[in-house]
Structure 1
């Protein structure tokens, strides 16, 4: 992934994205024709669970029935479930624009909606595409030179139709600068929780996840699917939970293999299949998450947080935290501490 993606995810708070200062972060959901109602309702519900966001839906307020390429009524019509309250022009007020997935990609999105979306991108709004919503972003040139993903069934179509986009497959979501693209509806929840985490901290994202009865936000590197089903009762969920519970202790690949009753080689293979990353890279990410939660919710010293999260020395913790999060532990606590 390009550096723009890494900096976008780490430095969002420092760039003034949704830090709660100077007013509420405005989220506009662009209800394009033939949009999947679930893809509209997910961001509305997730962002609506946090008081730092104000959410509204844009689109044709009295839309004609959506038609497919043959001129027949579409079986998916956003108007059936969620009616927009604002016109597409209202995207100009948004800090975050969400483009839901939609059916029948052969029928173009209306030009006024594409124009509003293009204008929002050009002025620097953050944009989150769920599922096939990525095709609307690609159509306005927002993904040129960027890395993006989409629902696994549409990867080939995106790659063929927009060769200027660096399309990656089997990823829950991809963040490249101010643009996030995600796979299906489930990964749309992960992407929304990731935005909440970036804006308001890990504890806030945990609270929203609990409200919507969803696991804590998964990382962007986790896969959409595995090529081979894991045998019953052979997944590594229990081992990953063991690591979280012992995050302050020394954790090695061998200890994880011993806990899972697998060989090292089998553990590594299954771990990459289930999480999208090698075991120790995943452990490092869990240590960062544990440290973020402690910085947000406790008044512990940096030294104590470093030990509790398994980083060893405070110096090592400060260096790794700044590299991964984009700011020092003290600056993070100041930005997100309760």
Structure 2
């Protein structure tokens, strides 16, 4: 349990309690299920029942790596999307056909259930929870404290083939996009900046980030807007222009669709004077 302890323990908004089957905290707001060595081994019914009760009560559940098998064994993942370490995805699919197994993704969030791949992806998943609870700026700070990059997107792949360029191949172009977020960003402009043909750029970008270029740009714009809402007193109009959304109306529409709340509501929850939730 060292990964969630390390991540959640960096913020005073969380109270981390490590427990076993017999001292399971029934009131926990977030339950983290660690991976275990052999997913074929049966999970004690008492443990499965405790997980089912937590889910029925509305707790969020994070399963790291093979911890997903415990959730599947308890029937918690029936009809839900989930992932695990790439070595175990086929095993998960065979053992639990009712689970919608998503391959080669760092983590998958389906409602209140979040499943992740290996240890590194477990950090991503826990940072995602911090970002959801306290905002992107706080998550960035926790990532720095645990000596990790800012939380990566759920859609990033777990692995790449042997001929895939290194992760840093297009890093300069990605940094350029972030520095020029308020301008008109197109695939062609990114390809020109990287000195690659449009087709080669699209293929290489997808290999490095796990998503098409403009989808990545859209995510960066949302993330940039979240950080400005959290840390600045800029107006919605100014943030819309700075992050490339154009008009305030367009920004409000897209932000609400992607984040689930309006920019104003998000600022009230995660802005400089907001305390945010205090899960345990």
Question: Which range, TM-score by smaller chain?
Answer: over 0.9
Counterpart of 2:123 (choices 179, 184, 189) is 189
Matches within 5 A, 1:1-338: 40-59=1-20, 87-90=22-25, 92-231=26-165, 235-338=169-272
CA deviation after TM superposition for structure 1 residue 318, in Å = 0.9
Q: Could you tell me how far apart the structure 1 residues matched to 2:27 and 2:171 are?
A: 42
Q: Could you tell me how far apart the structure 1 residues matched to 2:189 and 2:53 are?
A: 52
TM-score for the superposition, normalised by structure 1: 0.78
Residue pair 1:155, 1:169 contacting (<8 A) in 2 also = yes
Q: Could you tell me how far apart the structure 1 residues matched to 2:58 and 2:175 are?
A: 39
Residue pair 1:321, 1:329 contacting (<8 A) in 2 also = yes
CA deviation after TM superposition for structure 1 residue 109, in Å = 2.1
What do residues 311-331 of structure 1 show as CA deviations (whole Å, max 9, x unaligned)? Answer: 111111111111111111111
Residue pair 1:171, 1:183 contacting (<8 A) in 2 also = yes
Q: Could you tell me how far apart the structure 1 residues matched to 2:263 and 2:101 are?
A: 34
What do residues 188-243 of structure 1 show as CA deviations (whole Å, max 9, x unaligned)? Answer: 11100110111111111111111111111111111111124334697212211111
Q: Any unmatched runs of 5+ in structure 1?
A: 1-39, 61-86
Q: Any unmatched runs of 5+ in structure 2?
A: 273-280
Q: Could you tell me how far apart the structure 2 residues matched to 1:160 and 1:254 are?
A: 43
CA deviation after TM superposition for structure 1 residue 113, in Å = 1.7
Residue pair 1:88, 1:116 contacting (<8 A) in 2 also = no
**Matched residue, 2:278:** none
Distance 1:231 1:275, change over 3 A: closer
What do residues 116-145 of structure 1 show as CA deviations (whole Å, max 9, x unaligned)? Answer: 112112222110000000000000011001
Name segments (4+ residues, structure 1) moved above 6 Å.
none
What do residues 139-174 of structure 1 show as CA deviations (whole Å, max 9, x unaligned)? Answer: 001100100000000000000111111001000000
CA deviation after TM superposition for structure 1 residue 292, in Å = 0.4
Let me know the Cα RMSD of the aligned residues.
1.3
Q: Could you tell me how far apart the structure 1 residues matched to 2:23 and 2:38 are?
A: 21
**Matched residue, 2:275:** none
Q: Could you tell me how far apart the structure 1 residues matched to 2:11 and 2:168 are?
A: 37
**Matched residue, 1:16:** none
**Matched residue, 1:36:** none
Distance 1:233 1:46, change over 3 A: closer
Q: Could you tell me how far apart the structure 2 residues matched to 1:331 and 1:279 are?
A: 29
Residue pair 1:100, 1:131 contacting (<8 A) in 2 also = yes
Q: Could you tell me how far apart the structure 1 residues matched to 2:167 and 2:160 are?
A: 16
Residue pair 2:43, 2:73 contacting (<8 A) in 1 also = no
Q: Could you tell me how far apart the structure 2 residues matched to 1:153 and 1:296 are?
A: 39
Residue pair 1:88, 1:112 contacting (<8 A) in 2 also = no
Distance 1:218 1:234, change over 3 A: closer
How many pairs does the alignment contain?
272
**Matched residue, 1:26:** none
- More off after superposition, 234-243 vs 152-161: 234-243
TM-score for the superposition, normalised by structure 2: 0.94
